[in-house]
Amino acid sequence: MTLPATVAVDVGGTKIRAGSVIDGELAHVRSVPTPATSGAQAVLDTIAEVTAAVVAEASGSHGGESAWRIGIGAAGVIDPATGTVVSATDSLPGWAGTDLVTELSARSGLPVRVVNDVHAHALGEAAAGASRGTRSSLLVAAGTGIGGGFITDGHLLTGRNSAAGHVGHVPSAAASGLACPCGGTGHVEAVASGPAILNTYRRLVDTSDSPTSAPNSVAGHEMAAPAPGNTRELAAAASAGDELALRAFDIGARALGSALGGISNILSPEVIVVGGGLAEMDETWWAPLREAFAAELIPATSGTQLVKAELGQDAALVGAASLWNAEQRETR
Amino acid sequence: MTLPATVAVDVGGTKIRAGSVIDGELAHVRSVPTPATSGAQAVLDTIAEVTAAVVAEASGSHGGESAWRIGIGAAGVIDPATGTVVSATDSLPGWAGTDLVTELSARSGLPVRVVNDVHAHALGEAAAGASRGTRSSLLVAAGTGIGGGFITDGHLLTGRNSAAGHVGHVPSAAASGLACPCGGTGHVEAVASGPAILNTYRRLVDTSDSPTSAPNSVAGHEMAAPAPGNTRELAAAASAGDELALRAFDIGARALGSALGGISNILSPEVIVVGGGLAEMDETWWAPLREAFAAELIPATSGTQLVKAELGQDAALVGAASLWNAEQRETR
């Protein structure tokens, strides 16, 4: 008897992770750097290599015959129906326009399904994570950017141009006038993403340093450790009690919580699952997020759950594998 | 042979409209005042009376035997699965908790299906109006309040607690600090609904009247016709060139357009259909709406259509009748 087995692959701008999923169990996970600057063909070759390695290792340990197929969550706007990259950011030069299904089927000899990586993340949490067993859920990935995926009755909403789920690109009063990576201004990502919070911190420092507005606390601040150079260091500064760092996280979290409250009033999901790097923060970030979220809910949506993602970086792999579940399909 | 025929009913706070839908054709439409202050039982009796009158009239003109059923779009948060009113505003005292399906089946002897009236509006435009033939659409009803309904692959999104579609209750920078009818503050409905635009106008007048900020145009303004007492009169003043009236509509339209742009980035519908009283305005309202909408769209959602509803108040009737279409079901 030949059993179905899936190689799940998560293709990001910096690394490619892959693992086997057999009977819902993720195993044989490996990770390699993405040869992003070498172009799409090099990335495809690397995906094929790591996929073959997972198959070889899993087949050796699994015993019996398996019917392998590939499920991919990939960076960029992905059309699951055609398996092509509709558009992509500069982090993967030449990625836009790549026909992932055709290219990887040709390299591997295996059937391939593909979806956007954040959408895979949403499918993974719904299949086996924080939103398992719900009829509707919104996954929000809050980190370098802010993305999301909405699932209703087991179906991922992909939308026109496969563009659904860009939860970071709703207007936010706290982001008024701030440039957003999408090219627009005033979107919540421009104040609530990790890099945006670091920018807020730097503006707060600049403002506090100016003689006209410097409060007493600033003197102490200037005597502290070297200025945080990334969001991780800023989080450490906040944990150590740095007032401006705390304020920057508070501003970002409130902006995101407010946006997610508004989105709840439109989608009314059972649960909003928050993952990504910012979700790893403590109550410094979660408390204002929850408070601002609850403040936006109308009576009919009050009580909507806002919880932390459970599967970490494995979510995209579990979700990519779920593309091969019989009941899974996308909805527009 | 017995042919299926539907009585479609639109139950609002001020009137009840009903008509027959046979072979997709709406006919025998009649309208009666809603006995709202007399309580839910009186409203149910009136629905049953008007429904019976439509059946009698349509049966007389239709000839042959018909298998009648009732489709209702009703004010309030409605659970289509149980046919009950989850919650309602003060415009229909005692309406919350009413089991519409049981009560009206008992009164009429006919099978009954029910959905929220704005959701019925969305279903109607998708079935036979501005969004017919699309895979996904968002209907926005902009008038006394701002509501909506999202349809994907033919399924209405009802969400947890049947609360999906409250597009008026997303945060808006233009509404900062303004009280919203939902009990919250800062939602787009608080600046973009008809009554909210009238409030903005009154604030503008107050501000302009103050000696410190009065521009030259204000003298002319004070000599104009009596102050507009409702949104319709304000629209007339705007058409006549009243600067503050124009500005109030501009502020409301931009706030709504911006909110709808953000929503497009999440849902990526093929089309957003705008109905309700405000959609009857001219370019005074539509031009800033479109401009603000387009400014929020990310590259992947740019080109999302924003169009005017086509069916007017018949949309809710056509949509209520469509509850009996074989392929129609709601999704959570």
3-state secondary structure labels for all residues of A49-97: HHHHHHHHHHHHHHCCCEEEEEEEEECCEEECCCCEEEECCCCCCCCCC
Using a CB-CB cut-off of 8 Å, the residues of chain A touching B179 are: none
Percentage of chain B beyond pLDDT 70 is 92
Mean pLDDT (chain A, rounded): 92
- ipTM score here? 0.92
Q: Please, which contacts does A143-146 make with residues 24 or more away whose CB atoms are closer than 8 Å?
A: A143/A193, A143/A194, A143/A276, A143/A277, A143/A278, A144/A193, A144/A194, A144/A195, A144/A277, A145/A181, A145/A189, A145/A193, A146/A188, A146/A189, A146/A192, A146/A193, A146/A256, A146/A276
Instruction: Kindly determine whether residue B153 and residue A270, on different chains, have CB atoms separated by under 8 Å.
Output: no
**What's the CA gap between A74 and A323, in Å, rounded?**
13
Confirm whether B313 is domain-assigned: no
The tally of CA atoms less than 13 A away on the side-chain side of residue B64 is 8
pLDDT score recorded for residue A211: 52
Q: Locate the chain A residue with the closest alpha carbon to B148.
A: A266
pLDDT band for position A62 (50/70/90)?
A: low
Residue B190, Cβ density class (10 Å: 0-12 exposed, 13-18 middle, ≥19 buried): buried
| E strand or H helix that includes residue B2 | none
Using a CB-CB cut-off of 8 Å, the residues of chain A touching B262 are: 169-171, 187
pLDDT score recorded for residue B64: 64
Alpha-carbon dihedral A155, B123, A271, A118, rounded to 10 degrees: 40
Q: Are residues B178 and B125 in the same domain?
A: no
Q: How many CB pairs under 8 A join A and B?
A: 176
The residues near A300 (Cβ < 8 Å, ≥ 6 apart) are: A268, B77, B86, B87, B161, B162, B163, B166
pLDDT score recorded for residue A135: 94
Q: Locate the chain A residue with the closest alpha carbon to B272.
A: A160
- Return the structure tokens found at A126: 């719904």
Confirm whether B314 is domain-assigned: no
pLDDT score recorded for residue A213: 42
Instruction: Kindly determine whether residue A171 and residue B172, on different chains, have CB atoms separated by under 8 Å.
Output: yes
Instruction: Kindly determine whether residue A262 and residue B170, on different chains, have CB atoms separated by under 8 Å.
Output: yes
Residue with tokens 């999202």, as numbered in its chain: B150
pLDDT score recorded for residue A23: 87
**What's the CA gap between A231 and A67, in Å, rounded?**
43
pLDDT(B56) > 50: yes
**What's the CA gap between A175 and A258, in Å, rounded?**
12
Q: Are residues B192 and B273 in the same domain?
A: yes
Q: Locate the chain A residue with the closest alpha carbon to B151.
A: A332
Task: Please state, as a whole number, how many other Cβ atoms lie within 10 Å of the Cβ of residue B85.
Answer: 25
Alpha-carbon dihedral A270, A272, A273, A277, rounded to 10 degrees: 180
Instruction: Kindly determine whether residue A152 and residue B184, on different chains, have CB atoms separated by under 8 Å.
Output: no
Confirm whether B119 is domain-assigned: yes
Rounded mean pLDDT, A100-117: 97
Phi, psi at B109, each rounded to 5°: 75, 10
pLDDT band for position A91 (50/70/90)?
A: confident
Q: Are residues B192 and B111 in the same domain?
A: no
* Closest CA of chain B from A154, distance in Å: 10
Q: Please, which contacts does B24-27 make with residues 24 or more away whose CB atoms are closer than 8 Å?
A: B24/B128, B26/B314, B26/B317, B26/B318, B26/B321, B27/B58
Q: Are residues A67 and A191 in the same domain?
A: no
By C-alpha distance, which of A210, A300, A204 is closest to A248?
Answer: A204
Phi, psi at A158, each rounded to 5°: -100, -35
Residue B63, Cβ density class (10 Å: 0-12 exposed, 13-18 middle, ≥19 buried): exposed
Rounded mean pLDDT, A10-34: 95
Task: Yes or no: say if B75 and B93 are a contact pair by the CB < 8 Å rule.
Answer: no
**What's the CA gap between B34 and A270, in Å, rounded?**
34
pLDDT(B108) > 70: yes
pLDDT band for position A60 (50/70/90)?
A: confident
CA angle A8, A9, A11 (to 5 degrees): 160
Confirm whether A145 is domain-assigned: no
CATH number at residue B262: 3.30.420.40
Phi, psi at A78, each rounded to 5°: -115, 135
Task: Yes or no: say if B234 and B245 are a contact pair by the CB < 8 Å rule.
Answer: yes
Q: Are residues A226 and A243 in the same domain?
A: yes
pLDDT score recorded for residue A24: 86
pLDDT(A220) > 50: no
* Closest CA of chain B from A83, distance in Å: 16
pLDDT(B289) > 90: yes
Q: Are residues A93 and A212 in the same domain?
A: no
Q: Locate the chain A residue with the closest alpha carbon to B152.
A: A332
Instruction: Kindly determine whether residue B268 and residue A298, on different chains, have CB atoms separated by under 8 Å.
Output: no
Report the Cα B241 to chain-centroid distance in Å.
Answer: 28
pLDDT score recorded for residue B332: 63
Confirm whether B100 is domain-assigned: yes
Confirm whether A151 is domain-assigned: no
Q: Are residues A295 and A182 in the same domain?
A: yes
Task: Yes or no: say if B221 and B179 are a contact pair by the CB < 8 Å rule.
Answer: no
The pLDDT tens digits for A135-158 are 999 999 999 999 999 999 889 999
Q: Are residues A302 and A318 in the same domain?
A: no
The residues near B302 (Cβ < 8 Å, ≥ 6 apart) are: B294
pLDDT score recorded for residue A328: 58
Mean pLDDT (chain B, rounded): 92
Confirm whether A107 is domain-assigned: yes
* Closest CA of chain A from B210, distance in Å: 28
**What's the CA gap between B131 and B123, in Å, rounded?**
9
Using a CB-CB cut-off of 8 Å, the residues of chain B touching A304 are: 160
pLDDT score recorded for residue B184: 96
Q: Are residues A119 and A185 in the same domain?
A: no
pLDDT(B327) > 80: no
Task: Please state, as a whole number, how many other Cβ atoms lie within 10 Å of the Cβ of residue A122.
Answer: 34
pLDDT score recorded for residue B89: 84
Q: Are residues A76 and A177 in the same domain?
A: no
Instruction: Kindly determine whether residue B176 and residue A173, on different chains, have CB atoms separated by under 8 Å.
Output: yes
Q: Is A59 on the interface with B (CB under 8 A)?
A: no
Using a CB-CB cut-off of 8 Å, the residues of chain A touching B87 are: 299-300
By C-alpha distance, which of B153, B175, B131 is closest to B306?
Answer: B131
Rounded mean pLDDT, B74-95: 92
- Return the structure tokens found at B53: 């009158």
The pLDDT tens digits for B211-270 are 544 444 444 455 556 789 999 999 999 999 999 999 999 999 999 999 999 999 999 999
The residues near B212 (Cβ < 8 Å, ≥ 6 apart) are: none
Using a CB-CB cut-off of 8 Å, the residues of chain A touching B182 are: 298-299
Q: Are residues B300 and B208 in the same domain?
A: yes
Using a CB-CB cut-off of 8 Å, the residues of chain A touching B86 are: 300
Residue A231 structural domain: 173-308
* Closest CA of chain A from B256, distance in Å: 11
- Per-residue burial over A23-35, b = 16 or more CB atoms within 10 Å of its CB, e = otherwise: eeebebeeeeebe
The pLDDT tens digits for B126-170 are 999 999 999 999 999 999 999 999 999 889 999 999 999 999 999
CA angle A256, A258, A260 (to 5 degrees): 70
State the total domains in chain A: 2
- Return the structure tokens found at B261: 């742009």
- Which amino acid, residue A212? T
Instruction: Kindly determine whether residue B300 and residue A270, on different chains, have CB atoms separated by under 8 Å.
Output: no
Q: Locate the chain A residue with the closest alpha carbon to B301.
A: A163
pLDDT score recorded for residue A219: 45
pLDDT score recorded for residue A35: 96
Confirm whether A201 is domain-assigned: yes
Q: Locate the chain A residue with the closest alpha carbon to B294.
A: A184
pLDDT(A215) > 80: no
Q: Are residues B202 and B303 in the same domain?
A: yes
